[in-house]
Structure 1
Amino acid sequence: MRLRKYLVGKALWYVGALIVALVLNFLLPRLVPGNPVDAIVAQLGRSGAQAEQLKRIHEHYVAEFGLNQPMWAQFFTYVGNLLHFDLGTSFAQSPAKVGDLIAEALPWTLGLQLPAILIGWLVGNGLGALAAFKGGWFDRGAFLSSLFLSSMPYYCLAIILLYLFAVALRMLPPGGGYEPGLMPDWSLLFATDVLRHYWLPFFSLVIIFIGGQAVGMRSMAIYELNSDYVNYGRGLGLPDKRIVRYIFRNAMLPQVTGLALSIGTLVGGALITEIVFSYPGIGSLLFSAISQNDYPVIQAITLIIAIAVLASNFLVEIAYGFVDPRIRAARAGER
């Protein structure tokens, strides 16, 4: 019964958070100065279209995109489309469907971010745990280098790697997902070219993620090493292997939360990296949509990010409820 109350309470809280996110997701893009139709018409005007033609085009796009409706009517249209799994049509790339644009960009972001997060999490936590357990010069060296890397912004390391390996040494291509002349297919040539373009953005993400995870794991492991139950276990004569297993099980709880949050935000987390390397992922698509006030694309991507973050947090809450009975009992007692 307590576990059921815990899960139901958490589910209701996250449903409420999703509703708030849905409203903000609709309103915030429309608070950005500028009108997407004005930008489209201005671009046509530079190509030599007449004033009367531009006026008719402007009226046509305003009616087609529903921007002539009241804000509340636009919101209910937006919610109704979402209930039918329709993300709408891109303003800037009309008549392209938003779902098709995201389907093209999402695999690039997942392929870049997911391996970087998982490898960085495993290597960083292993390094932090080893540094806390070993101590001495190894701990000092690992801590200082990890702290330096975790404090460096993504774009700084990306620019350094770009200059070093693409400009100075010319070992790797400077940007893009593949060479412009190639067509995406399942051939060995295309796969090899994609891998050549993959390494620079991948290492710019994974190196910093390793540093952040190592610093967090080291701090938690040192805290657990100095706790009362460790001293008590050693006083009872428990072997070091068993004590270390208890230590790192407890130290891993915050790191699991960090992993879930990182996976939840991976859709938009590589925004700067993708811009620096002109990588064709969700981050680049979102940046382009913001610069063009493309409401449907902005709404779709930010909604995916919000759902991913809420879902990952909810799964962590459920996992904590099963893994750590102290959390379950405390939350149930509050109700």
Structure 2
Amino acid sequence: MGLGRYLLRKFLWYLGALLVALLLNFFLPRLIPGNPVDALVGRLSQGGAGSDQLQAMHTQYVKEFGLDKPMWQQFFIYLGNLAKGDLGTSFMQYPASVNKLVGDALPFSVALQLPAILFGWLIGNLLGAIAAFKGGWFDKGAFVGSLFLSSMPYYCLAILLLFGLAVWYPMFPQGRAYSLGLTPEFSFTFLNDAISYWWLPFLSLVLIFIGGQAVGMRSMAIYELGSDYVNYGRGLGMKDSQMVRYIFRNAMLPQITGLALSIGGLVGGALITELVFNYPGMGSLLFGAISSNDYPVIQAITLIITVTVLMANFAVEVLYGFIDPRIKATQGGDKS
């Protein structure tokens, strides 16, 4: 019952955070200077339409997008559309559906970032744990290399890799996600082509993840190795294999939080990397939407980011409730 109350409190907290995020998600894009309908009509005016025709188009788009209604009424329309799973219509790519734009971009971001996060987390934590346990020259070399990688902005590494391995020594294609003339589809031909474009942005992300995770895991493991319970256990004659299991279980707790946050933020986490490689993911879509004040697209992507981050954090809270004995003890104390 104590654990159940703990999880219920966490669920209500995250539900409240989601409601606040919905408010901010709707109102903040509308604080960006500029009117998207003016930009849309201005782009259409390049075709040589007259002023009366442009005014009629402006009035039509303002009405169609609901911008002629009060802000509070627009907000409730937005909530109603969300309840039906409708993310709206893009202003700048009218009449394209935001659902379709997100559906086209999301697989590219997930295919790029999810493997980078998982491989970076596994390899980085393994490297950090071995470095802390072995010490000596291996620890020094692993620490310096990991610190160098973790300190480098991921977009700088992306630019260096793009120049070095695609321009100066052309081992990989220069940007994009697939060759011109191909259409994204689940076929061997497309996947074989896309994987050649995937390697460079993947490497630019996974190397940074490995460095950051290795530094964090090494620090936590060294802290645990010097803690009182380790010295006490060794004094009782416990085997190193048994002590290592306790040490790295405790050291992994902050790393699990980092993994959840990385997965939760993968939708927009590689925005500049996608821009460097001209990769058609969610980051590129979000950047284009912000540049053109495309409210529906901005709202959709930021909402997806918010929901995934909240879900990832809540999953960590649930996991901690089961694997962290300190939380179990606390909730048991509340019960008594």
Structure 1 length normalisation: TM-score? 0.97
Q: What code does the residue aligned with 2:322 have?
A: F
Contact conserved, 1:39 with 1:292, CA < 8 A, in 2?
yes
Q: What code does the residue aligned with 1:13 have?
A: W
In the other structure, the counterpart of 2:277 is: 277
Superposed, 1:70-149 pairs within 5 Å as: 70-149=70-149
1:186 Cα shift? 3.5
**Greater shift in the superposed pair: 259-268 or 325-334:** 325-334
Contact conserved, 1:6 with 1:332, CA < 8 A, in 2?
no
1:331 Cα shift? 5.9
Q: Distance in 2 between matches of 1:82 and 1:290?
A: 20
In the other structure, the counterpart of 1:58 is: 58
Superposed, 1:240-251 pairs within 5 Å as: 240-251=240-251
Superposed, 1:172-251 pairs within 5 Å as: 172-251=172-251
Residues 58-91 of structure 1, C-alpha deviation per residue, up to 9 Å, x if partnerless? 1010000000111000000001111111111111
Q: Percent identity?
A: 68
Structure 2: gaps of 5 or more residues: none
Q: Distance in 2 between matches of 1:25 and 1:40?
A: 22
Q: Distance in 2 between matches of 1:160 and 1:96?
A: 36
Q: Distance in 2 between matches of 1:189 and 1:14?
A: 43
1:141 Cα shift? 0.9
Q: What code does the residue aligned with 2:245 have?
A: R
Q: What code does the residue aligned with 2:115 have?
A: P
Q: Distance in 2 between matches of 1:115 and 1:31?
A: 36
**Greater shift in the superposed pair: 319-328 or 268-277:** 319-328
1:110 Cα shift? 0.5
In the other structure, the counterpart of 1:154 is: 154
- Structure 1 residue runs of 4+, over 6 Å off? none
1:7 Cα shift? 1.0
Contact conserved, 1:320 with 1:328, CA < 8 A, in 2?
no
Superposed, 1:155-170 pairs within 5 Å as: 155-170=155-170
Q: What code does the residue aligned with 2:247 have?
A: I
In the other structure, the counterpart of 1:265 is: 265
1:332 Cα shift? 7.1
Q: Distance in 2 between matches of 1:187 and 1:333?
A: 57
In the other structure, the counterpart of 2:21 is: 21
Q: What code does the residue aligned with 2:300 have?
A: A
Contact conserved, 1:270 with 1:283, CA < 8 A, in 2?
yes
SS in 1 for 2:268: helix
Tell me: CA distance 1:85–1:186, structure 2 relative to 1, closer, same or farther (3 Å).
closer
Structure 2 length normalisation: TM-score? 0.97
Residues 120-139 of structure 1, C-alpha deviation per residue, up to 9 Å, x if partnerless? 00000000001101111111
1:328 Cα shift? 3.9
Residues 225-272 of structure 1, C-alpha deviation per residue, up to 9 Å, x if partnerless? 000111111111111111111100000000011101110000110111
Structure 1: gaps of 5 or more residues: none
Residues 255-314 of structure 1, C-alpha deviation per residue, up to 9 Å, x if partnerless? 011101110000110111111101011111111111111101100110010000001101
TM-align CA RMSD: 1.3
1:334 Cα shift? 7.1
Q: Distance in 2 between matches of 1:218 and 1:26?
A: 42
Tell me: CA distance 1:332–1:289, structure 2 relative to 1, closer, same or farther (3 Å).
farther
